[in-house]
Amino acid sequence: MPRLRMGMIGGGPGSFIGPVHRIAAEMDREIELVAGCFSSDAAKSRAAGESYRIDPARAYPDLAAMFAAERGRADGIDFVAVVSPNHHHLPAASAALAAGYPVISDKPATATLAEARALASAVAAAGLPYALTHTYTGYPLVREARARIAGGALGTVRKLVVEYPQGWLAGEATGKQAEWRTDPARSGPGGCIGDIGTHAFHLAEFVTGLKATALLADLAAVVPGRAVDDDCTVLLRYDNGARGVLLASQIEVGEMNGLRIRVYGDKGGLLWRQEVPNTLTLHSVDGRTEIVHAGGPQLGPDAASRTRTPTGHPEGYLEAFANLYRDFAATLRGEPAPLLPGIEDALRGMSFIDTAVRASRDEAGWVPLTI
């Protein structure tokens, strides 16, 4: 079976996430990067193409050129990956869908909720697969956590705490990564809430199977002069009455990428930490604590099928990311991949950002959260 051929949109020189998508996509040899519109600057796009070691002729300066040229090749691209800054997501994804290409996109789905709605329409109109890379849901033990909760290990979920602390934006926002993320014209109205808060929001729903129905948000721009939020506290209510606390920050000095989630039910509790992703801690109401190991024999199929190495051989961020691409490849082959985030998750995420930003700005207290 030949590999699926990927075209990348974005990921030009200096990009962090472009190379990550490339490694993730190719890790399981189901997908191959063959083309890209890495930058609207032709020289930069070409330079990026060289760094990815693709055929120089397939590093395009604009989307239309890429779609036209690739459509004409027997070995043309099968889908596109959108990895540019947020404000490019909608135009890039829409163009790709219109050109007949399935899309896998970095998060958040778009810069604004209105754009997300437009995107949803485009997806529906095209009738093509769309996936959103909420990376952390690709970790095997996150999938195990979901399966355990679905299986009743915690009883009824009553409470969750999801945190995403970082410290890298505690000072001046310098460098390509920092600059666009703190510029509302490129990131959208949400700063931290859109960059990492949306990961945390999605993770909590993913793991618990619950849906948030209301929130109370307190977002701040702590660094003087910052135009978007960099420190966020959000209280959540879920559809079964459970309570949630979501903390996300980019000014917590010393924190690196400390996403973690704790979920508590009436029969048990669990803890997972992204920085030490290969153990999952399970507590039961009788006082017992169990450590579940990635790659170990206790794992269910959702986790076991997405693990490449035996227990004790740590897999990490790139492997988690690769699991989303494996799911996406399955989707393109017509196989089910129910855990892969899609357009519904895209809408929920953008609604979360939009609602939180407005609720905080208006000091509105509890407000309903709808798609």
Query: Which secondary structure element, helix H or strand E, spans residue 23, and what is its range?
Result: helix 17-26
- 344 belongs to the binding site for its own copies (CB under 8 A): no
Q: Is the Cβ of residue 247 or residue 371 nearer to its own copies in the bound state?
A: 247
What whole-number distance in Å separates Cα of residue 55 and Cα of residue 173? 35
- In the region spanning residues 97 to 126, those forming contacts with its own copies, defined by CB under 8 A, are none
CA separation for the pair 300, 321 (Å, rounded): 19
Using rule CB under 8 A, residue 339 touches its own copies? no
Between 155 and 342, CB nearer to its own copies: 155
Q: CB-wise, 117 or 267, nearer to its own copies?
A: 267
Amino acid (one-letter) located at 213: T
Contact stretch for its own copies (CB under 8 A) within 13-21, 76-84, 115-123, 329-337: 13-21
Q: Which is nearer to its own copies, 190 or 244 (CB)?
A: 244
- Shorter beta-carbon distance to its own copies: residue 13 or 91: 13
- Contact positions with its own copies (CB under 8 A) in 213-232: 216, 218, 220, 222, 231
Nearer to its own copies, 304 or 371 (CB): 304
Distances from the Cα of 333 to the Cα of 8, 67, 70, 103, 182, angstroms: 19, 21, 20, 14, 38
- Pick the closest to residue 81 from 112, 55, 102 (CA basis): 102
**What mask, x for binding its own copies by CB under 8 A, covers residues 286 to 325?**
xxxxxxxx-xxxx---------xxxxxxxxxxxx------
- Smallest Cα–Cα separation from 262: which of 122, 370, 157, 337? 157
For its own copies, the binding residues in 241-260 under the rule CB under 8 A are 243, 245, 247, 249, 251-258
Interface with its own copies: number of residues (CB under 8 A): 91
CB 214 within 8 Å of CB 367 = yes
36-95: which residues touch its own copies (CB under 8 A)?
A: 50, 52-53
Tell me the three state secondary structure of residue 90: helix
Beta strand pairing status for 279-284 and 268-273?
Answer: antiparallel
Give the residue, chosen from 13, 27, 44, 62, that forms a contact with its own copies under the rule CB under 8 A.
27
C-alpha distance from residue 362 to each of 29, 218, 358, 359 (Å) = 49, 10, 6, 5
Helix (H) or strand (E) holding 292: strand 289-293
Quick note: the x/- pattern for its own copies over 149-188, rule CB under 8 A, is -----x---xx-x---xxxx-xx-----------------
Contact predicate 73/60, CB 8 Å: no
